[in-house]
Structure 1
């Protein structure tokens, strides 16, 4: 701390000659300063305060007093909510560190704003001893003008002064950032180069002022058409550029270009008249055309000039191939408008198969278009056009009715109870007449609502969540089931997803495709299945094409699969053939389960047992029956049972008594009471003590009972997995402990060996040092790693040779001897003495490396 600071700190706590009180409030604990010190503080162009060790202000100068008065006035005028100072918490923390001596000093710029103005201050904190105790000096000055200047400089450097849009440099920075995002997440991006068609004529004839006004209106109209994720910039003159991120395909850029062409064709009002300008647009797409910013801009610019050459007021893709595709898409849209009236649409059906029983449990209806000249057209080629044109609502209503009618016909033909799922588009979900459309499809076809499932995507659910929840609630009240398609590819959170009234999730094919090879995909799929089951949702895996995928999905408790392994999407007649022949997964394919699920039914009424067996046979369980508790115990003794369903009122032994005994003997079973009689106290006690998992009543709802039994098996299997995992972890921990013990033993022995080797090395070096003849050791790179005293005296003049290279310290002849590495020797004279010098390569009888050079006095040579 400097002398002035010490003087101020000491004076703050002492009485001196002609003291001056700088605190107008005369707060308790205020200090008085000598006049010379007070004059220095008053002269400082900053607000200054001295703080004691508690952080309390003990003295201030006039600048601080005026600042405090202004703050008090602001609080009196606006209330405490009208004046806000940022970073107060951070400043308090740092100040405590300064006073405590844990920090030297610090400063930062902070904002203090009220309803009518905003100010910026730079605050400086430094340690200062006040009255001999730790304290602090606080100074802050108004830097609002400097901050405003920095903001103006930033604005000038990054934004166009006329339109306020990003300039070329800032736009390029944003484009490169979005390209990096697109590469990381494999998303398409389009760059639109937009140029006014007749701007030069207007600028030249009506003047630059009118031209500037037109450019501003042009920029505002383009900005209004942008999405929140889009970026619009101006490169100068009449050139505007737009980035469209997160595109599914290049055709989405076409829709935007068309929209902009239409908007810009409308008149602009300037100079008291309507000005018709129009624009030409060039489009380049990442990664189809290029993967760097400069090339994309160049291609879009070239395409824009091509659009001008072709007549202005239009758009062009960079490549002729994309132009041809866009033209083909336009013709396709024209044909789509007549496809429904010409009965060119048809539905194909892909079966969904139970992973428990292997049987077909439903179909997904998939739209196909039999084009008169193109043949069979798949949805990927025309669904986007249906969405953009608005035809999707009409076509979607047709799909709903046709799918319901077909399933009703199959059920009437005696093919058993299956369901049909239909995909809804975003436009359909937002259609206010959707509920009426669905109700009509059910009424016309005669299909039960429970046999219809509607599939939605994650992104659709997130668009307008509250409205979507209300719509889905109405659909559920009709009895329709709902599922999320392509789960895992969207952006919904699990906590948010549980708010929707859903029945199932479909794992996207992108995860299933590599599930047997990619551990990440396998982990994601397993996590989705576990999460869905915890929310009581069914799980369907799409795109199953191999037995390996099926085996892994079954092992992870997936409920249903769908994919080419079982069947591709088929026309209605061929799909009916699958039902007629009762096609199912083979026993070999289902055998990937660890074992078949075993269910024990205990009831003294034969008709109840028969009804339950008929109901549950389709679920693929191995079903055991017993007509009472004693027989049930016999079955348990002979079979490994997973789930038990028992009646309550039975002769000799009640259901609760039976299940209490089972809990003691077979604690890992899941136990359910199904009874028409309720003995509340005994049931409650049994549930509380864990003897009963659930209590269900007779008569039962078939689907609800099946769902409860399925949940019970999942509960059992999860508990089994946890026990196996715990066992495996215990074994692994024991093995790890044993391995650690062995490793410690090896390391201890290595350490002891190193100690022995180090001691041996010390001894060897000491011996060599005591030898009266010069000895030098070299490593393989020619560095001197050992030299005894005699060698230092002979070749180094007393200066240590250690750490030097041979070529630097040895005479040329000795260096040549070292390089020869032939084990030979030479006669050498130095300092009046004659020596026989030999060089030996190390490592012949040990693991040592390098060379050893020995000097023998000539007289001593043999």
Structure 2
């Protein structure tokens, strides 16, 4: 039977460079002295019965480990687990996942499940039905190895998906100049059009990271950041708060971008002329539909939209723009108003400000400038909140290390106290008199035999020794291997004298007296 160990492949956000989760893998190695190099693989390979049982075991263990990290104050992000087709043919997978979450105490939002296009082809309807309640609870669902199968857009739209995972074969070609590179870019655009995030698998180089970020990919995993790690190594990674180098973090917003939407060309021209001096990057659209297309491919900070447009009103457009690009600051500009629609849009957060036509040039420029400041303030707050979160994680890790160090020191002191107590007990049972003197010459210790043999000397315990004891101590040379003969009270004794600490430090000495006739 093969030994199995869980490994964790870190997943990184390309916008912040921070670890946001990990995919759970199995490390399988044959037992024995000639063990081959271990292989990392999802828990989806092997006989059907083994895969089902291994999947259950992996799910429970991964949830328990993620919950343990959170209990320690770490933020491992979502732990993603690949589901095999065999796991859908035996039992109730929905109940199994919910039971693993409940037993471990892991919030559903911290678990991710990966499915494949092959799985959709075999069990599409069953997969959707099983995943919907889990997705409603907050479990993230990813479609792995996208681009290698035959999933239709209708199927993708019908499933409760959050993430498309680009197959590593396409990631390898993203830097190519031919059509092979356009596959990854097309998948990224398709995913964003479906309001899905994109995860690139098997990223090996820094250049691939740069290109993926440049084309809008949201996440990555692979050796370019880290290989799969053991639970202990992943813990160290979280505690160190390691992230992508700053030069690899994609900065997607190089200039202030303004989107103007109006069905009248002369209005768009007038607005372009008005804001030309302010240095914005200006994008224009003559309908709500065209504006949404721009939002799917361009980062936009501020939107100014007409209200009365054919096909889609400004409020409707801005409501959909909020779903597609929630970070934008959205304003409507119109001389024709449906007051209730405007009020509803403002209350729902779709519209930041309502402005009327005809406009005052200076005031309109001020409103647009204020909208950009609002957008940048929110962005700065998000950045600061992220930095505070990272700092708190680092502080929590430092506190845990300090607590562990204090605990180890405490345990060490207790062990030393126990050892000292046992040593005291053993010396107390030695069949010869043992007398201890501190560095100042005071008598500080006498074992049981010393109390019996020399009660007058022991009476001075804690103070200067009896003169006869002091003279006897001075007559015995220190640190000799053989005994030194002494006479006290007419009796002959064998005496040894030993320093307590190595020379030159003098912490006192021990005098040992043995009656050979006893």
Q: State the TM-score, normalizing by the size of structure 1.
A: 0.31
| Residue matched to 1:358 | 17
Q: For the residues of structure 2 that align with 1:458 and 1:556, how far apart are their CA atoms?
A: 24
Alpha carbons of 1:416 and 1:468: their partners in 2 closer, same or farther (altered >3 Å)?
closer
Q: Deviations over 1:366-393 (max 9, x none)?
A: 0112432225542569953233xx1111
Instruction: Tell me the distance in 1 between the aligned counterparts of 2:10 and 2:105.
Output: 21
Match of 1:347, SS? strand
Alignment partner, residue 187 of structure 2: 528
Q: Which residue does the alignment assign to 2:63?
A: 404
Cα offset, 1:693, TM superposition: 8.8
1:414 deviation in Å?
1.9
Distance in 2 of aligned mates of 1:597 and 1:422: 39
- Tell me, what secondary structure is at the counterpart of 2:64? helix
Name 1:504's counterpart in structure 2.
163
Change (3 A) 1:435 1:522: same
Cα distance in 2, alignment partners of residues 598 and 432 from structure 1: 54
User: 1:418/1:639 Cα in 2 relative to 1: closer, same or farther (>3 Å)?
Assistant: farther
Larger Rg: 1
For residues 382 and 526 of structure 1, do their structure 2 counterparts lie closer, same or farther at Cα, with a shift above 3 Å needed?
Answer: closer
1:480 lines up with 2:136 in the alignment: no
**CA distance, structure 1, for counterparts of residue 16 and residue 147 of structure 2:** 26
Shift of 1:403: 1.1
Report the CA distance shift for 1:695/1:401 in structure 2 as closer, same or farther (over 3 A): farther
For residues 49-128 of structure 1, the aligned pairs below 5 Å read none
**Is 1:463 the counterpart of 2:122 in the alignment?**
yes
Residues 1:560 and 1:371: Cα distance change in structure 2 (over 3 Å): same
User: How many residue pairs get matched?
Assistant: 293
**Match runs of 1:137-536 below 5 Å:** 335=1, 344-373=3-32, 374=35, 377-378=38-39, 383-387=44-48, 390-416=49-75, 418-517=77-176, 519-536=178-195
Q: 2:341 aligns with which of 684, 694, 711?
A: 684
Contact 2:5 2:28 in 1 (8 A): yes
- Structure 1, unaligned stretches of length 5 or more? 1-334, 337-343, 601-635, 646-655, 661-668, 674-679, 697-708, 714-862
Measure the CA separation in 2 of the matches of 1:365 and 1:504.
16
CA apart distance, 1:429 = 2.6
> What secondary structure, in the 3-state scheme, does the structure 2 residue paired with 1:550 have?
helix
Quickly say closer, same or farther: Cα 1:491–1:639, change in 2 above 3 A.
Answer: closer
What corresponds to 1:846 in structure 2?
none
Say if 1:383 and 1:361 are closer, same or farther in 2 by CA, change over 3 A: closer
Q: Does 1:671 align with 2:329?
A: yes
Aligned match of 1:560: 219
Q: Once the two structures are superposed, what CA deviation does each residue of 1:814-833 show, in whole Å capped at 9, x if it has no partner? A: xxxxxxxxxxxxxxxxxxxx
Larger RCO, structure (CA 8 Å, separation 6 or more): 2
Could you tell me how far apart the structure 1 residues matched to 2:76 and 2:55 are? 24
SS at the partner of 1:566?
coil
| Unaligned segments of structure 2, at least 5 residues | 259-276, 282-298, 304-313, 319-326, 332-336, 353-374, 380-518
Match of 1:848 in 2: none
Q: Check conservation: 1:671, 1:693, Cα contact below 8 A.
A: no
The list of structure 1 runs, each at least 4 consecutive aligned residues, that deviate by more than 4 angstroms after superposition, is 379-383, 596-600, 636-642, 680-683
The offset of 1:405, in angstroms, is: 1.3
Is 1:694 aligned to residue 360 of structure 2? Answer: no
> What's the secondary structure of 1:385's corresponding residue?
coil
Residues 573, 549 of structure 1: CA spacing in aligned structure 2 closer, same or farther, 3 A cutoff?
A: same
Distance 1:500 1:399, change over 3 A: same
Q: Distance in 2 between matches of 1:418 and 1:490?
A: 29
Kept in 2: contact 1:369–1:376 (CA 8 A): no
Aligned partners of 1:598 and 1:353: how far apart in 2? Answer: 26
Query: Match of 1:391, SS?
Result: helix
Tell me how far apart the structure 2 counterparts of residues 560 and 381 of structure 1 sit (CA, whole Å). 19
Cα displacement (A) at 1:458: 0.6
Q: Deviations over 1:522-559 (max 9, x none)?
A: 20111111111111111000111112211111111000
Q: CA RMSD in A?
A: 3.8
SS of structure 2 residue aligned to 1:464: helix
Aligned mates of 1:511, 1:683 — CA distance in 2: 49
Alignment partner of 1:577 out of 230, 236, 249: 236
